[in-house]
Amino acid sequence: MAKRTSIEISKEILTELQTIARSTTAESRMVLRSKIILLWHQGLSFAETKSELDVSEVIINKWRSRFSEKGMDGLRDLPRSGKPPVITGAQKAQVINLATSKPGKGYTNWSERRIAKATGMSQSKVNEILREADLKPHKTEYWCGKSTDPEFEQKMVNIIGLYMNPPENALVLSVDEKTQIQALDRSQPELPLRSGSPKRLTATYKRNGTVALMAALAVHSGEITAKTVERNNAENFLAFLKSLLRNNPGKELHVVLDNLAIHKHSSVKSWAEKTKRIHLHYTPTYSSWLNQIEIWFNIMSKDVLKGGVWKTKQQLIDQLMLYIKTYNSERAKPFKWTYTGKPLVA
């Protein structure tokens, strides 16, 4: 019977080997090499390892020796010899010209693969040229253009003034809606997070309806007041404003809104004009970023909606309301809201 021997491995390296061996995304050769070393650590002989992994003793001996000499570095492939590929100036110019032009044929953006096909180069060579030129044709960034609102400065100063120096005995509320929130259920159970593998969901799903969330952020306390509605219309929006007024007796309400049609509906404006304690402040055109509730919607989307699974619409509603209750009790505080770009007015 073959003598059983083993190798001592530090806790850190053992964890790394186990992670690679269980991984579904690591290179198959690294998975095999890690398993060879783990079986050695467990005391399996050459013959037992050969039977377990269906590899030759030559391979087993190679990776055992490499690991003994260099540890984890020994399991990785050595740099390949050979002359590095030469990239000419004409090739660089061709790739850069394509990457910075409109692709045509119905495409919006270039990919490295399609640039390689169009130029007859390898994708690795295209990648090298683009990296050297710091070009990323697959990536798009968005920027905020100048508002066309002739009253931009007046409206902006008014809203910033409410944030920085609110009137006495006043409540400043940043209000908006997040619409078309889908209650999605997956066709298969969720596979939970584990070492070497993220949480996984099936790409196929079932829609269980949608809801809209109307929310108000109390700017100087950070607390959220919210309500789900079936339809995002002027009637429901007006009802939400009335509930905010009822829930804050004796206070002046200054409500910051964007220019959505339902926010400027005649019924809303008419009611606000007749109601002494509420004042509506609209952001300038194309400047809804001035409305702080947008920050909270982004936080909520990451905490609740990303990767969520709901069997029914009511489950979604219940989770949203529970999250808001938890947020108010544990996390609500004023945002340190700043603008770090160039001045937008003289």
From first to last of the 346 residues of the chain, give the pLDDT tens digit: 445 578 889 888 998 899 898 888 888 889 999 999 999 999 888 888 998 898 999 999 999 999 999 888 889 887 666 666 678 888 899 999 999 998 888 888 899 999 999 999 889 889 999 999 899 888 877 666 677 888 888 999 999 999 999 999 899 999 999 999 999 887 677 767 777 777 777 777 788 899 999 999 999 999 999 999 999 999 999 999 999 999 999 999 999 999 999 999 999 999 999 998 999 999 999 888 899 999 999 999 999 998 888 999 999 999 999 999 999 999 999 998 776 766 666 5
Look up the domain containing 164 and give its range. Answer: 152-330
User: Are residue 96 and residue 48 in the same domain, yes or no?
Assistant: no
Q: Identify the pLDDT of residue 235.
A: 97
The alpha helices in the chain, defined as continuous H runs, are 11-22, 28-41, 46-53, 57-70, 89-99, 112-119, 123-132, 152-164, 234-246, 266-274, 293-300, 313-330
User: Are residue 167 and residue 301 in the same domain, yes or no?
Assistant: yes
Residue 321, domain CATH:
3.30.420.10
Could you tell me if residue 142 is inside a domain? no
Q: Report CA 297 to chain centroid distance, whole Å.
A: 13
User: At residue 54, what is the residue type?
Assistant: D
Are the beta carbons of 142 and 157 closer than 8 angstroms?
no
Could you tell me if residue 337 is inside a domain? no
Could you tell me if residue 82 is inside a domain? no
User: Are residue 126 and residue 170 in the same domain, yes or no?
Assistant: no
Could you tell me if residue 346 is inside a domain? no
User: Are residue 199 and residue 291 in the same domain, yes or no?
Assistant: yes
Q: Identify the pLDDT of residue 142.
A: 67
Token pair for 185: 């259920």
* Paired strand residues for 170: 252
User: Are residue 189 and residue 322 in the same domain, yes or no?
Assistant: yes
Q: Identify the pLDDT of residue 1.
A: 43
Could you tell me if residue 314 is inside a domain? yes
Q: Identify the pLDDT of residue 228.
A: 96
Could you tell me if residue 140 is inside a domain? no
**Residue 224 DSSP code:** E
The residue behind tokens 């066709």 is 187
User: Are residue 163 and residue 215 in the same domain, yes or no?
Assistant: yes
Could you tell me if residue 26 is inside a domain? yes
How many structural domains comprise the chain? 3
User: Are residue 106 and residue 44 in the same domain, yes or no?
Assistant: no
User: Are residue 224 and residue 317 in the same domain, yes or no?
Assistant: yes
**Would the pTM of this model clear 0.75, i.e. be above it?**
no
Could you tell me if residue 318 is inside a domain? yes
User: Are residue 281 and residue 167 in the same domain, yes or no?
Assistant: yes
User: Are residue 165 and residue 114 in the same domain, yes or no?
Assistant: no
Residues 6+ apart with CB under 8 A from 244: 173, 175, 216, 225, 253, 255
User: Are residue 172 and residue 218 in the same domain, yes or no?
Assistant: yes
User: Are residue 116 and residue 233 in the same domain, yes or no?
Assistant: no
